[in-house]
Chains A and B, each alone.
Chain A
């Protein structure tokens, strides 16, 4: 059977079989016992033509409902400049392997170096790796890193204001890696410093995970946290939304040792959950404990600046069961996505993304409160582009009516609480439509 992906003619196959000393390709499988063989082929459809594949995906696509997106929860609808898909579709980037051969991988290695440079700038930390899978696993890796770096300590504290989706993954890793996870209570929507201090005193803590902004969109004042954590001999881990670091005080400025999170907010399409990118940055002191690939600059034999994968002896393919992590790949192409995005936007552009989003969010929050039907759960706490509202009606009702109007109003947190996010993608008109729905719909009161 000839398929467009296979170059072999019958003459080719015959000549190759002859070289192998067999008469059919099946003979090359003589060592597979008959009783293990697949007898009647797969119960799958036969090949589709390219047009049929396209038609199929079009039909699937038609079953989705496009919505104006006010949902966040760590993932935000952002504008992706057209330069990015153009660069990412370059075959030389897209179809290349991991850059283990630096002589023919300078393109990949250089963009990772640029990515690392940009992430260290955003986080205010010394070192970035070449990226992890997503923000949740990057945070879990940061937790394991703190345990590996502090030796003989196996308790990690987590703020209860952390995004629950991230927390779920952290919990899974902790359970299987035998890390004792303890939650720090929240007070008025932010992490309780007093509760954290108590828990630091009660056991030998390896690391403390704190979100910024937290799940409710609140920018936490972490004054005093780093001092208390370091005094207890633990490491401070911050889970951040990197786009917000264009304006927010950085993990480095707060005194964090490790920053981790999801870089989706840096212009990546929502794409129903991925691919995104987990970032992981740390202080120089922790570089040897950092999982994943790291690119370094050096010179080649002719004195040319050259980029290479460095500190590889930390990694799983060499350290095997002694490695800090089992991570093997990174989100390569999404690191390129990030580097191109940040190159295009620059410091001013990224700031504008943050401020436009925050301006829209504050405008929306004010006007939703003015309807008298919703109010901010934590009105005295500062936020950027996301906020938690308490409703006098059932959130499900709001979500349903909004979907009928092609709007995703936010993420339901409880029966009467909804988390709402605004980005540069929602126009004033979009925002006003949401306000209008809330003010004109007669929701049954809770």
Chain B
């Protein structure tokens, strides 16, 4: 692609008088002159004026500067970048759902409500929970909703001194941020050298101010917390609830359910475990499940199945409130439903095991060249602490950037915060042995390059459309729109 010619902004392709769409006219006469001029904008907005073919070529060329699951492998820890089936896309865009208004009476949207209800019941079965809401828009939104459920539960018992949420130091950054938004205070509990929760340290923190303990299991180092049932007993004895961060649910499919591990509240990232596309950052979906006894606190509105087999939308007085104006990202929910139906119960169980096998295979194939700080069987992901040979000065960031030259996305780096040079790899189940072998070869080649030509690795990437952007300049002097760019050029 000729970057000079095609690499422009849509604004730079704009010419007065061009248009890319026509608007239906209803011939109903003119009304805008009835509105006082003081309520109208002074100038028309500066939007691009472009014809349809130019718009199509512009965005198609832009897409070529992007990496996606359909173009290559993402060894991206904690993100579960699995294949996004095509049938899901078609079902989500089904014309029978596309023009339903969210305020339409329940009697006219029975199919949509049945889809919502069927997915919520399937997730309850998979999570080992009594009930689910699909309303939260993303994982972080689910976390927030789940923590609100926990506060609503404690409030309902008049227990208002529970303001603490305990999270392991290996937790996702969203955990403490969600707790803060929900008006709770985060206390970190440290991990043992093997990366799992220090049960004694946790016990010391448990008192009558603890609202909940948030855990992900397997944890962010990919390790199953075998003590989870014991931890749950301790937390429950102290009057707290157990929250399951479902970001790492994928390897547990068919093996064990959060509800059976002792968790009371959980969220699931449909864009991870249930194959809905990441879309360059969203839309996601973060359904929240609760054990029996907490259903009433789930947010309004709720979808229920009535005795006559029809579906309805209801609101409850004990609910934590509403966290969305609608029933959530419905299109994302349809994709997840399509995926669950496509895999079936056997396929779901197979997915979990293959994800774990793929991760262990990579770990065992690279452990001689990369530092493995925790030598245990992992689940869906694992963490290296950078290259084994620390003498070259080549960092985890350098390795990640060099991988781009080999045609792979970078792994998750500098997370979890347990190690200085964390490099976290999660292959998912939809990658073939050949792909994994190519990735392993690339990682081994990079280790060799680091020893023989460290400067070259430090200057990576070398072959990408852009190289080593100046982040500091971007942050010091934010240029965040077309008009800023024009002002800068002057």
A touches B (Cβ under 8 A): yes
Interface hits, B71-89 → A, CB 8 Å:
71, 74, 76, 79, 81, 83-85, 87, 89
Q: How far is the CB of A326 from chain B (nearest CB, A)?
A: 4
- Contacting residues, chain A, for B254 (C-beta < 8 A): 38, 41-42
B348 at interface by CB-CB < 8 Å: yes
Asked if B63 contacts A90 (CB within 8 A), the reply is yes
- Contacting residues, chain B, for A358 (C-beta < 8 A): 31-32
Asked if B36 contacts A93 (CB within 8 A), the reply is no
Asked if B432 contacts A8 (CB within 8 A), the reply is yes
Asked if B55 contacts A325 (CB within 8 A), the reply is no
A223 at interface by CB-CB < 8 Å: yes
Asked if A28 contacts B19 (CB within 8 A), the reply is no
Q: Give the residue among A13, A107, A300 with the most B Cβ atoms within 10 A.
A: A107
How many of B's residues come within 8 Å of A, CB to CB? 202
Question: Which stretch, B200-208, B233-241, B321-329, B447-455, touches the partner chain A?
Answer: B321-329
Interface hits, B1-40 → A, CB 8 Å:
3, 7, 9-11, 14, 18-32, 34-36, 38-40
Top 9 A-B residue pairs of the complex, sorted by shortest distance between their CB atoms: A61-B96, A273-B326, A47-B344, A172-B321, A107-B66, A332-B281, A333-B279, A91-B70, A63-B111
- Complex interface bits, A334-358 against B, C-beta within 8 A gives 1, otherwise 0: 1010011011111111111111101
Q: How far is the CB of A163 from chain B (nearest CB, A)?
A: 8
- Contacting residues, chain B, for A411 (C-beta < 8 A): 103
- Complex interface bits, B182-211 against A, C-beta within 8 A gives 1, otherwise 0: 110110000000000000000000000000
Asked if B467 contacts A302 (CB within 8 A), the reply is yes
With A36-B228, A271-B331, A296-B478 as contacts: A345 and B283 at CB distance below 8 Å: no
B156 at interface by CB-CB < 8 Å: no
B305 at interface by CB-CB < 8 Å: no
Asked if A345 contacts B104 (CB within 8 A), the reply is no
Q: How far is the CB of A254 from chain B (nearest CB, A)?
A: 10
Q: Give the residue among A15, A87, A326 with the most B Cβ atoms within 10 A.
A: A326
B430 at interface by CB-CB < 8 Å: yes
- Contacting residues, chain A, for B126 (C-beta < 8 A): 42, 44
In the complex, A342→B140 CA distance in Å? Answer: 29
Q: How far is the CB of B471 from chain A (nearest CB, A)?
A: 6
B389 at interface by CB-CB < 8 Å: no
In the complex, A38→B3 CA distance in Å? Answer: 54
Asked if B138 contacts A274 (CB within 8 A), the reply is no
Asked if A98 contacts B331 (CB within 8 A), the reply is no
Can you name the residue of chain B whose Cβ is closest to the Cβ of A81?
B21
- Contacting residues, chain A, for B115 (C-beta < 8 A): 57, 60
Can you name the residue of chain B whose Cβ is closest to the Cβ of A50?
B87
A376 at interface by CB-CB < 8 Å: no
Q: Pick from B74, B179, B226: contact of A97, CB below 8 A.
A: B74
- Complex interface bits, A207-225 against B, C-beta within 8 A gives 1, otherwise 0: 0000000000001010100
Asked if A67 contacts B104 (CB within 8 A), the reply is yes
Can you name the residue of chain A whose Cβ is closest to the Cβ of B23?
A352
Can you name the residue of chain B whose Cβ is closest to the Cβ of A35?
B229
With A1-B346, A64-B96, A121-B45 as contacts: A136 and B325 at CB distance below 8 Å: yes
Q: How far is the CB of A184 from chain B (nearest CB, A)?
A: 19
Asked if B39 contacts A248 (CB within 8 A), the reply is yes
With A87-B59, A166-B325, A270-B102 as contacts: A43 and B48 at CB distance below 8 Å: no
Can you name the residue of chain B whose Cβ is closest to the Cβ of A30?
B377
Q: How far is the CB of B254 from chain A (nearest CB, A)?
A: 7
Q: Pick from A83, A137, A348: contact of B52, CB below 8 A.
A: A83
- Complex interface bits, A371-403 against B, C-beta within 8 A gives 1, otherwise 0: 000000000001010000000000000010001
A414 at interface by CB-CB < 8 Å: no
- Complex interface bits, B98-126 against A, C-beta within 8 A gives 1, otherwise 0: 11111111011111101100000010011
Asked if A38 contacts B278 (CB within 8 A), the reply is no
Q: How far is the CB of B276 from chain A (nearest CB, A)?
A: 10
Q: How far is the CB of A18 from chain B (nearest CB, A)?
A: 10
